[in-house]
Structure 1
C-alpha cells in the first residue's frame, strides 16, 4: 500500500488520501514527494482495541504446517462483530465525505471492502502474498498452509483434501463465524461471511505479488494482476545509515537475516542461527535484523560471533537486498521479503514461520531460488550450515534467482500497480 501511494505521489497525482491506524501516520506522510498524501486516522476506541497477533497466537501458528489450531484462533480474532461494524460505519462515513473516484484496500481490511461494496465505489484489492492465498483455486491445488507441491502423489492429494475439509469444519464449529455471518447478512453486507475469494470476485482490480512460475499457475479472473513484488525503482537508493552502508561496502560476502516484525524466534532457533553464523565466519559476514525484545534472548555482546552485525531496525530492506555484497537472504518466508529478494536476484533460505510461509518455502525450492527448513521448530545449526553453504557455492541457485528476478521485474511492481490504479480511477480514458 505504501509503495503504491508513494509512486502515485511521485507522479504528482492530486487528492491522495490514506486511511490507517494513527501509529503509521508519520511513515505515510513521509512517503509524499510531488503531491501531498492526506492522512485520516482509523483507530478503534481504546477500550475495545485488541492485538490481532500476539505471543500466544504466534506460538499456535508456529506449531507447524497443516494445523488448524492457529488458523482457528487467527480467524476468531478477525471476526469480532463489534469491531467489524465500527470499521464498516467509519469507512462509510469517510466514503460519503470524500466521494473517492476509487479505493485501494488491503485484502484483510474487510470492513473497508464491505463499505466500498455497499456504496458501489470501485476498489482495488492489494494482496501482498501469493495470489493463491485469496483467489479461488482448483480443488486439487495445494493449500497455502502446506508445503505440498503442485503435482501431488495420491497420499499428498488425500492429505491436502482432508486438511481443507478439516479446516472448514474447525472454523465453522470452533469460531462464531456462523452467527457473525448471520448478523452481517441482516445488515445488508454483500459478503457476510468475509470470504476473501468473494472480495476478489467483487473487486474492480486485484494487485497481488509473484509471477506464475514462482507461484503455481492456476486460472485467475481478468481483474487479478500479478505485479511481481511491490517495489518501486524510484524508492531504491543508498542506505540512510552511513555506518551500515559503509559496513556493507567493506565486506565482500554478506548474508542478510530478517524474520519480519511478528515472528518470535525460540531460544533453540536463535542458538541454531548463532551456530550458523559462527561456523561460516570469518569469510562470510552476517547482518541480522533483530527486534529489541528478541535481542534479550541473545548472549552478551562480547560472546557474539565477530562476523555478526545486529540491527534492531533496518531503514530500508530494499537497499540492503540491492547491495551487491549481499549474497543471500535468510527469512521466515513472508511474501514481501521473499519476492523482494527474488527481485534483486538473491537466493533465499526459508525457515517458515506460519500459514502461507510453508507454501512460499515450497515455491522457493521448486522455482530453484532457494532451500527451505523442513521442521523449523527443530532446526539445527548443522542443517542451516549445509543449506546456506549450498546457496553460496552452487551456481544454480544464483542463476535461477537472476532468471526469476528478470521475470519479477517485467511484472512491473509498484509502477505497474500505480498504472492500473490510475486506469481504474479514470475509466473514461480507457
Structure 2
C-alpha cells in the first residue's frame, strides 16, 4: 500500500457526512500545501465520501453506510405519501428546553447508531484490518467515527482526534461542578444561565449522564456486542478523555467561547474551514447576481429537509423583508420534505431579488467570502456557525435538533446574531422570524441594531482569524505534523 519508504504515511479516518468530513478535508488540504512532499496521505471512510477525496490522496473504503444514511433508511418517509406523516422529523427534531434535553438523551444512541450492533462491529473490524495492512506512521481520526476509534485503541496505535465541535462539547467532564453553569446540550438555554433555569439545567445534565451511561438499553447492547468482539470499555465517545492519553483538536477560539476550563489534551484551533475557490471562478452567473445587492443567504444544512408549512412561513417573512428593503435580495437553498410548490415569482417587484434553488454549485462559504452577504440564515450546525463567525457575517439560526440549539443559545452572549425560532423551535413562527430578519438586516439601511451587530461580527471575525492572518486548518495541520514527528523520532 505504501508509495514510498522515505515518505511518512498519514491515515485519516472519518465519518462520510459533510458535517464531520469537511474539517478532515480542510486539514488534508493544508498538510498537502505545507508538507506534501514528505507525506503519503490516506483517507478512510465509507464509499460515499470517495467523490470528495482530494487529488494525490489514496482513498480506503469501509464497506457499509454512514450514520446519517442508516438513520434515513430507518425513518425517512419523505417520499411516502408526500411525507405527510413526518416520521423523519418526529425522530430527528427535538424542541429546546428541559423536555427537549430529555428527548435528546432518550434518542441519543439511536441517532448516533441507527445501525445494528453487528454492523458497527463489522465497520470497526474493517478499520482494524485497514490500519494493520497500511501500518501508518500516524493516524488522525474523526472524534465521532467510533468504529475507527475502537480499531485504533484495540491496536494500541497513536492518534490525534479531530472534531468539528467546540471545547464545550468535548470537555464537559473536566469542568467539575462548574459544568452546571453551562447550558445543557439540547436545551438552548442562554449563557449566563438565568437563576430560574438552573434547577432544570442541572436536572437535564444529571438525567443525560445517568440515562445514557446506565439505563439506555441500546447503549448497553452496543457495548456488550463490542466487548464480545474485543473492543473494550464504553463506546469511545463516552470514555473518559483524560485517561485516553490522546490529544484532541477542535474549532473553538478561547477568546470567543463560553468561559470554562480547557484541559491540556485539547487544542483550540479556531474555525477550520473548507478550502473553497472564489465564487466567480465556480459560478459566474451566481457571482454577478450576489454582487448586485446586499444579499441574505438562507441555507439550512445538508440534512435539513423543510416542510411545506415551514417553507411557506419563511417565504412570507422574506417577502415582508423585501417589501421594506428594496435594496436587498435573498438567495435561498430549499431542500423540501416531500414534494410541494412554493411560489417565488408571484411578485413582479421582487422576482429579480428572490432566488430559490434546490442546489448550489458553490459551497455556501464561497458565497459568504464575497463579503456581500449581510445575513446568513442557517440551522446552527457547527460548520455553518463557524463559517459565519470567521467571515464576520451576522447570523439568524433556525435550529431543530441536538447541538444546533447550543449555538443558538450563544448568540445573545456574543451579539453576533438572533435566534430566529426561539419560541417556535423546531418549527417556525412567521412573526418571530420576520422580527429576526428585520433586526439583523435592519428595516432601513442605517438601522442602529443591525449596524451594531455588523460591527460586532467584524470584531469577532478579527479575533478568530487574528485579522485574517490565522487559519484553524493551519493550526490543526501543525499540531498533527508535530505529533507525527514525535512518533517518527521514537522509531529511530
TM score, norm. by length of structure 1: 0.89
Establish whether residue 345 from structure 1 lines up as the match of residue 353 from structure 2. Answer: no
TM-superposed deviation, 1:173:
3.4
Establish whether residue 309 from structure 1 lines up as the match of residue 355 from structure 2. Answer: yes
Kept in 2, the 8 Å contact 1:58–1:263? The answer is no
Q: Could you tell me which runs of 5 or more consecutive residues in structure 2 were left unpaired when the two chains were aligned.
A: 1-23, 77-86, 442-446
Partner of 2:30: 7
Deviations, residues 310-367 of structure 1 (Å, cap 9, x unaligned):
2322222111011121111011101101110110100101111211111100112211
Partner of 2:455: 399
Deviations, residues 209-262 of structure 1 (Å, cap 9, x unaligned):
222343312112222112221126x64423401111111122x21000000011
**Whole-angstrom distance in 1 between the partners of 2:255 and 2:68:** 41
Residue range with higher mean Cα deviation, 272-281 or 145-154: 145-154
Partner of 1:420: 479
Match of 1:82 among 114, 118, 138: 118
Partner of 2:70: 51
Establish whether residue 103 from structure 1 lines up as the match of residue 152 from structure 2. Answer: no
Tell me the matched-pair count. 421
Partner of 1:63: 94
TM-superposed deviation, 1:286:
0.6
Partner of 1:112: 148
Partner of 1:285: 329
Match of 1:91 among 111, 127, 149: 127
Partner of 2:464: 408
Kept in 2, the 8 Å contact 1:134–1:196? The answer is no
Kept in 2, the 8 Å contact 1:253–1:284? The answer is yes
TM-superposed deviation, 1:44:
1.6
Distance 1:380 1:150, change over 3 A: closer
Distance 1:175 1:57, change over 3 A: farther
Match of 1:130 among 166, 170, 173: 166
**Whole-angstrom distance in 2 between the partners of 1:407 and 1:255:** 24
Kept in 2, the 8 Å contact 1:200–1:206? The answer is no
Secondary structure of the equivalent of 1:52? Answer: helix
Secondary structure of the equivalent of 1:327? Answer: strand
Kept in 1, the 8 Å contact 2:190–2:412? The answer is no
**Whole-angstrom distance in 1 between the partners of 2:463 and 2:156:** 35
TM score, norm. by length of structure 2: 0.79
TM-superposed deviation, 1:166:
2.6
**Whole-angstrom distance in 1 between the partners of 2:295 and 2:202:** 42
Pairing 1:329-344 to 2, within 5 Å after superposition? 329-344=376-391
Partner of 1:21: 46
Residue range with higher mean Cα deviation, 144-153 or 3-12: 144-153
Kept in 2, the 8 Å contact 1:346–1:401? The answer is yes
TM-superposed deviation, 1:169:
4.4
**Whole-angstrom distance in 1 between the partners of 2:337 and 2:48:** 22
Pairing 1:206-245 to 2, within 5 Å after superposition? 206-231=248-273, 235-239=276-280, 240-245=282-287
TM-superposed deviation, 1:170:
4.0
Distance 1:237 1:164, change over 3 A: same
